[in-house]
Each structure stands twice: as C-alpha cells, then as structure tokens.
Chains A and B, each alone.
Chain A
C-alpha cells in the first residue's frame, strides 16, 4: 500500500465515522472534508435542523480540531468575532482577548444575520488567515476552517452575502432532508449530537497540514486541464449565465477536485472528480441570466452533459 493510499485510508475512516453521525449524507461529508483539505471555507445553505452544526462539530472532533461557534445576530460587532484589547489594571497594559475566530474549526451560524461590517471582518480574516487588531497582526490557528451557514428562506432582517463575498467560500453545500431510511435510523437512534462527545479523534491537528499538502500535489494531467478549461469556457460562453467562472473559480475547482481525488485514494485527478465537485464549486458563483438567483445543480448537470470527456 502506497503512503498516499494509507493516508486516504485514514481519511476514509474519518468519513465512515462521520457517516455514523450524519446519516445518508456521504457526498456532503466528503465534500466538506475535501473543502478542508483544499484549505477552503465552506458555506452551507439550508433550513435549520438538517444537521449543519452536527456536521461541523463532527468534522472538528474527528480531526481532533478545536471547535467554536458564533451565532450571528444583527447587533454583533466585529470585535465580537475577532476579539478586542482590554486594559489590564493589574499589569497596566492592554491585553488581547481573542474572539471566537481564534479556533481551528469555526461554525459561523446564520452569517447573513450579521451586518455587512461584521460579515466583512470575518470574511477578511478568512481570506488573510490572520487578524490585525490595533496594529498588531495575529495569525489564526492552523488549520483554519470556517463553516458558515445561511438560512435561505428567511430574508427579513438579513444581509445576504454579496457576490464578491460568496466567492470567498470554496464550496457551497445544501444538506437537504435525509432520505427515508436515514431518517428512520435517526428516529430510532435518537439525536445524534449526544454521541458527539463519545467520538474519538481519528487524526491529530499536526497530521492535517501534511494531508493538505499532499492533496494539493495530486497529479493533474494535461488532458484533465483541457477538460477543466473546456468546462470553464463553456460557463463563459453559455447564454444561461450572466458571467462565467473566474480564473479564481477555476483554480478553486481544480484544488477541490484534487482533494476529492485524494480522498478517493487516487493519485490523479479524473474527469469524474471534476464532475463530482463542480456543482458545489460553481453554483454559488454563477448567476442565471433569465432569473434572479444562482445556478441550480441541474443547470450544472446539463453543462457537464454538454462537454464530452475524451
């Protein structure tokens, strides 16, 4: 067994364990893991109660990462997220109280409830992987993985993320309702969050960085690059979308596809890998021309069907 597949095996243990908690959502779990391995951040857009928090906590626990959560509200200030300096009387100096952002896995719940100012503070930190408070730059922990959630149905009193901010999330997922069998198992087994504390970590935080490194080195052949380019060009040429995918999106697509292939235990990226991750990478980056809204997964499926794999 080659070293890479050994690591993939440990990753598949992680996936198997996560599937024991979040039932019937194998693809989403894999995508979330791929997102983490590709050093990106994840946006989950779905209704409350479908398991967003559980997914975040499960991933954090299984990977042995420190987890924190911010519930966003409209009166939240940037300092609440990134932290603030307060004067310590005993020592007569300013002491930095780190905010919730200083954790390895951050669940930013209902991010669209926060004001744009607070949102942008978080998003900047996500992008830079560091926080500058009062002239002092503090790096964020490694790995740093944000899972933000958005509730698409309630739009009153919310500040939906603008297009430019959406682009900062590598992937966007929808969890959706569980299927009948998974829901039955859930009902029979009781709430899954109770089992979380019993979950043992499969990996240590030190192991994550090498995994990320290795995932990013998954082999990509010229043939695959041709395929990716054809796909991206097709989004630009299609009259269905206002704009096509940006070069940054193309890079994102490639890095997620690499992580996906790596999780699958392959040393090379296949067109199938690109096809599997494309909806999650592209949907929130493409706006439909004939209606206000983002591309739906079926639009992406049609796009895939229009590009031959050779």
Chain B
C-alpha cells in the first residue's frame, strides 16, 4: 500500500527534504577549512598530550594529501573507529571526558577529524562553527596581547573561510580583504559592548573547577627547595602603583603566609593563626609618619592571601587581617585582582599577644638539632636580653663563613644543625628557618614570614613589578613591649639581596632567574625593551582584563553616566547600536542613486532568479540575461524573455505603465515556479 503522505507530496510535486541533495563542498574551499582547523588547534598543542597532537596532525596532513590527490574520503566505519579510539584515549588520559582540559582535548580531536568527512557545504559550516568555539577556549590558557592578536587573525581567517564557502572562487586577496572589512566593521560595536556591557565580578560564566590548576605563587608551607623553584621563575607575581612616594627598598617587605609550626623539615601555619576566635586580634599601632598608599594588581595564584607591605592599616573591601597579620581575601584569587592598601611602615604589631600564640611560637620538634639547641642555650645563659641574643645570631651568620646561593647542598635529619655548623650554604629559607629555630631554642617567640621582597620599578609607567624571583622568607620575633619585630637574617649574610635584589646577591657562577642580572650593553637595551613591553602589558591588564565593575563605574562617570544600573547601561548599548545602524543605513541610502519603480521591479525579478542559480552580472543587460536564462534554464526562458522585454520597454523604450504590472507578474510567476519545483 502506498504511503499516503508520499502520494500527497508527489501529487503536489514536493520533494521531501531528505531527497534534496545537500550543496556539495567545492574542492577549492577545502584548503580554507584545513587552514581553519590548523589555526584553531595549533596553539592548543602546548597543553595537549603529545599523542593527541601527533594524531591530530596526522589526520589533518592526511586530509591535505587526500585533497591534493583528489582521492576519496575514508569509509564511515573507519571514521567511527577513529572516534572511538580517540575518545577512549582522551578519557584514559584525563580520567574523565568532562571538565576544561578533557573538553578542549575532545574539541581539538573532533576538529582534526571532521575534515575527514567533509562532503557537503554543511560540513564546512560545522568546521567553521567548531573553529569559532575552539577559538574562545584559547582564552583559558592565556589572555595576553599576542593571544588576542592571534585570535583576531584567526577570526579573520574563519570569516574568510565562511566567505569562500558561500561566495565561490575569488582571488585570495579579495576574500581576505572582505573578511578584514567585516571584522573591522564589528570593531565599534565591540568597543561599545566592552565598555557598556554590565559587568559582574569575575567572568560571566563559571569556569570548570580545574581551570585554575597550575597557577604559581607562594605555598601554604615552606620545605627545603619550595621557594627555590619559585625564585627561578621570572613570572610576575603582582604590580604595585604607589600614590605616595616609593618607600626605601629595604622596607619593601610584601607580607604573605606566616608559618609558626616546624616539624624538622617543613614549616606550616598552626591552626592557631587561622582560628580568629581563640586569639588576640591583630592590632597595628603606628609608631611613625611613614605611610604608603598603593594599589596592587595581583596575578591569580589560587590562594586566599593578598600581598601587602608590612603592615597594612587600611584593608580593601572583602578582606581581613588575620592574627598573624596575614591579609586574606574571602575567595582564592583566581583572576587578576586589583586592590588598594594603606600601610604603616613604622609600626608596632600586637604589643599584647595571646599566651597560646606565644607558646606556639616557641615550640620545636623534640630531639632534633642538638648542636643548635646547645648554641642557643649558651647564648641564653650569657646574654639576658632577647635583642642581644638575636643580634648574636645575626652576628654569627655574618662572621662565620656563610654563603648565599640558590644551589644549596641537601640537608639530612638535623637540617638546622647541618646548615649552621656544616654546609653553611643556602638562601633565605635556610637562613630564616635556622634563625627561628635558634631563637626558639633560646626562648624567644619567633616565626617565619614568607612573601616578596623588593621589586623593580618600570621607568615607562612607574609601576613596581614584583616577580616570583623576588620571593623571600624572613623572620619575626616577639619582644616584650615591642610586639612582633621583623628580622631578616638573609640581610646579615647577603645585604645586597635586600638592597639591590637577587641578581646582585648571587655569586657569578650560579644559574640565574631569567633576566635578573644585567651587565652588558645589549642586555640593557633588551631590558629597556622589556620595560616598554611590560608597561604595555600592564596597561592591557589594568584596562582590558581588569575592567571590572569598579573600573566600569569610573569610566562611565567620566562619560557623564553617574552610577548607572545595568538597565541604563543596557539601554545605552542598545541606543548606540541602533544609532550606528541608523547612520550606516542613512549613509547607504544617500549614496544609492534613486532607482525608479521599473528598476526596483527588475531587481526583484533578478533576485528571484538568483534562487535558480542565475545571478545577473552587474554589467549584464536584460536581453543578455534572458538569453543566458534560456541556455541555462530553458523552462524559464519564456518568463525571462517576457520580463526582460517589459523592463527594456519601460526603461529604454517607450513602455506602457501597464508593463510594470506585467513585470511584477513575471516575478510572481517565477516565485511560484520555484515553490512548485522544490
């Protein structure tokens, strides 16, 4: 029995959609799509497992070869097999198919695989859409200026591929020019949307949990070598902009995590320093007139502490001063964050301290470092005053043969003993650790403070840049009546570390943190270039990436919009876009020569004709067009001849007004012809 629906369709001469063949993909468009695939996947190879990069490269190369030799594409079952193998591989590699990294890996894999089944134009469109999506994922890894420029170029390439896909063969330069023009036209809208789109704190959509893996920064513990790797890194930790004059370099102690528990190897924070209730609150008394007002742009480090000059007296909103004078934000710092501080450079910290805290600051692991204990005991017996004991310890560091080096020998069980009486080679973490152990053994409450010391002023924009290589560890002791006092034992050994930075402190043979030591002319040139580049980067961070609700309010108030709500911002955006479009429309309309009704009718007819695949060339006269229609579409010949005749009479002859109606009728017939046909 015949299918009634099919009979119905056949009667009406309507072909079901599935039977209409999809538009074939032009051979000449394939290189464009392959270029898209390469450009969107290439930067990801840095973060992908090597086998996946190789696999994708092989797939794309293979597809290029198939294109060149004009061979058939692989069979479906083979592709299905590849999909399964690749997906299993990714699942095995990441232990999941979800989350940021596995998701991106899957997308890259599909991007490499999809060209293998590009038959129709629709497949090409899928590749381009996938390309646009993959483009966005690059921002997971980097939001720097070069990334932005690269993505802009790739977006142009994607647009060009889209043009090639729909516009047919044209010179490459024409296509790229057109694509660039389209992108350029989007720029004003982009700017307005950037300025006015209502901002929320942080990104608009939540990133997957693992998005913040692998951020570098200070750690919540200090064990031998933990600072070492940090110091080797030239990455920027934060930038500071001072409203008040830049303090002396020897005062630039940026306070980070404080450790008061030692197990013989590793320093940690005790629960005391994080439990706010059981403690005396941190109180800072100012004891001088040296203040610093500054704004810090902190790079994300996935921890809660904010870096502040010792010691802050005015905190940014949403942060708190914890008992050990650490400034902690409510949430881990996952985005580049700007905040403002006021610090008192001369201060007294917790003149009164809770007994539990002081007790904790005296605790040492039992049975370790006997020689250190002995030395400290000796000092305690001969010198009564804690300050004199501390001075004796510093003198010991200065007068015995200690060396400052980033390549210290390994230490065993009695680490402090071995360091103080044996190797005598180390850097800040060794000195601060040994000093605190000595003080505790001598009965003076003390603890280790980590953070950054110093920084480098960029002469181009005046920002102080603090790098991971400026990471530092120092100590503080609690003195009766004076509170917590900072002591930096490293300064006793290598004063230049504090005065001039780590590059000056290290002996000549030591491997250097990148770009720290400057001694030749061309390096100076290079450094100047680097300053300039960093200033540009900083401006980018401050104004583009750091464009948060607060910045937005600043900018908008300068533009005359005082404290706008999201509604007024959205309407400003809509009004601006509308005005832009209106202006463009008016301009286009004004430029267009006024066309007569018969021209309009003829253009409509030609547009209808385009649906049959016949496009009138701009220079083509009506009769020439009708002849071409007769050749390419004989069933439309009569219609085209009639329409051309009416139009020619109206425009070039002395046609009757009624012919205008006849011309319009031709257009109608053509349209209904199409509906019957398809």
Contact = CB atoms under 8 A, between A and B. Distances in A.
B653 A268 contact: yes
Task: Select the residue from B593, B621, B622, B648 with max chain A CB neighbours within 10 A.
Answer: B621
A247 B631 CA distance: 38
Nearest to B627: A272
A209 interface: no
Interface in B571-597: 593, 595
Given A272-B624, A310-B599, A267 B619 contact: no
Contacts of A306: 619
A267 B623 CA distance: 14
A275 B617 CA distance: 14
Contacts of B622: 270, 272
Interface in A257-275: 266-272, 275
B654 A272 contact: no
Interface of B: 593, 595, 599, 617-624, 648-649, 651-654
Nearest to A305: B619
Given A272-B622, A310-B593, 7 more contacts: A221-B651, A266-B653, A268-B648, A268-B652, A270-B652, A272-B623, A275-B619
22 contacts: A219-B652, A219-B653, A221-B652, A221-B653, A223-B652, A224-B652, A266-B653, A267-B653, A268-B649, A269-B652, A270-B622, A270-B648, A271-B652, A272-B621, A272-B622, A275-B619, A305-B617, A307-B619, A308-B618, A309-B618, A309-B619, A310-B599
A268 B654 contact: yes
Contacts of B595: 310
Nearest to A264: B623
A221 B619 CA distance: 18
A308 B619 contact: yes
Nearest to A301: B619
Nearest 4 CB-CB pairs, A to B?
A268-B653, A308-B618, A272-B621, A271-B621
Contacts of A272: 621-624
A35 to B, nearest CB: 22
Nearest to B599: A310
Contacts of B649: 268
Contacts of A309: 618-621
A17 interface: no
A270 B623 contact: yes
Nearest to B654: A219
Contacts of B624: 272
A223 B619 contact: no
Contacts of B620: 309
Nearest to A304: B619
Interface of A: 219, 221, 223-224, 266-272, 275, 304-310
A223 B624 CA distance: 17
A271 B622 CA distance: 9
Nearest to B593: A310
B219 to A, nearest CB: 70
Nearest to B603: A310
A272 B651 CA distance: 13
Contacts of A308: 618-619
B70 to A, nearest CB: 32
Task: Select the residue from B617, B622, B653 with max chain A CB neighbours within 10 A.
Answer: B653
Nearest to B616: A309
Contacts of A307: 619
Contacts of A271: 621, 652
A269 B623 CA distance: 12
Contacts of A305: 617, 619
Nearest to B595: A310
B380 to A, nearest CB: 98
B279 to A, nearest CB: 84
A308 B648 CA distance: 15
B593 to A, nearest CB: 8
A147 to B, nearest CB: 29
Contacts of B621: 270-272, 275, 309
A253 to B, nearest CB: 15
Contacts of B599: 310
Nearest to A307: B619
Contacts of A219: 652-654
A66 B253 CA distance: 115
Nearest to B649: A268
Contacts of A223: 651-652
Nearest to A308: B618
Task: Select the residue from B617, B652, B653 with max chain A CB neighbours within 10 A.
Answer: B652
A163 B599 CA distance: 40
Nearest to A261: B652
Contacts of A268: 648-649, 652-654
B84 to A, nearest CB: 54
A271 B647 CA distance: 12
A221 B599 CA distance: 14
A55 B7 CA distance: 63
A283 B501 CA distance: 80
A223 B622 CA distance: 13
A288 B661 CA distance: 47
Nearest to B624: A272
A231 to B, nearest CB: 10
A270 B622 CA distance: 9
Task: Select the residue from A268, A272, A275, A305 with max chain B CB neighbours within 10 A.
Answer: A272
A237 to B, nearest CB: 17
Contacts of B617: 305
B439 to A, nearest CB: 88
Nearest to A303: B619
Contacts of A310: 593, 595, 599
A268 B623 CA distance: 13
A223 B618 CA distance: 15
A180 B593 CA distance: 47
A286 to B, nearest CB: 18
Contacts of A266: 653
Nearest to A224: B652
A223 B653 CA distance: 10
A268 B655 CA distance: 10
A189 B617 CA distance: 41
A307 B620 CA distance: 9
Contacts of A269: 652
Task: Select the residue from B619, B649, B654 with max chain A CB neighbours within 10 A.
Answer: B619
A263 to B, nearest CB: 14
Contacts of B619: 275, 304-309
A110 to B, nearest CB: 37
Contacts of B654: 219, 268
